[in-house]
Amino acid sequence: MSTANTNKLPEDSSNDLIPGSKTYKKVDPPDVQQLGANSWSLLHTVAASYPKKPSVTQKDEMKQFLNIFSHIYPCNWCAADFEKYIRENAPKVESREELGRWMCDAHNKVNVKLGKPKFNCDFWEQRWRSGWDD
Ligand SMILES: Cc1cc2nc3c(=O)[nH]c(=O)nc-3n(C[C@H](O)[C@H](O)[C@H](O)COP(=O)(O)OP(=O)(O)OC[C@H]3O[C@@H](n4cnc5c(N)ncnc54)[C@H](O)[C@@H]3O)c2cc1C
């Protein structure tokens, strides 16, 4: 007959939580990959919610945002390359479609650098705004 204690309490996992918190786990800071995936989500989603016909102010703010983003992105070598990309390929901010494709091309530049396949930019809007029919 087994001597296992069937009344055993669930394993104590309080050490996984931040001291004093009943909710927040001790999650480590993001690495370059996690930071990248989350940042691309933000960038593509910002492009996907950009107006179809932006005002002069909205165009200006988008250019400023991308410029500042490329200066403060917390991965030095990523930021330097993104800044260079922006310098050589000025962000296209005349419409949502233009910006969405520009962002897709910018992301593909990084994909290629990292040896990853290119994403088909014909599908940027399904991926980041409308979703898929099927
Ligand atoms: C501005 C910037 C510069 C970066 N530079 C570097 C670098 O120099 N070195 C480095 O190691 N990492 C860099 N990264 C991180 C890198 O791009 C990836 O985010 C990271 O490697 C994680 O990759 P992933 O496989 O999770 O998918 P990610 O490349 O993060 O993609 C996430 C999702 O976006 C979709 N997607 C992929 N490509 C496109 C596209 N072209 N258009 C639209 N949607 C797309 C796909 O559904 C994919 O699953 C950079 C990230 C950013 C935001």
Measured distance CA(54)–CA(60) in Å, rounded: 10
Measured distance CA(96)–CA(50) in Å, rounded: 5
- End-to-end CA distance of the chain: give it in Å, rounded: 54
Name the pTM for this structure: 0.92
Report, as an integer, the average pLDDT of 52-72: 98
Query: Which residue of 107, 113, 122 sits with most ligand 1 atoms within 8 Å of its CB, as the best mutation to test the pocket?
Result: 107
Q: Is 65 in the pocket of ligand 1 (CB under 6 A)?
A: no
Percent of the chain with pLDDT over 90: 87
Which atom of ligand 1 approaches the CA of 37 most closely? 30
Q: What angle do CA 94, 127, 41 make, to 5 degrees?
A: 80
Q: Is 78 in the pocket of ligand 1 (CB under 6 A)?
A: yes
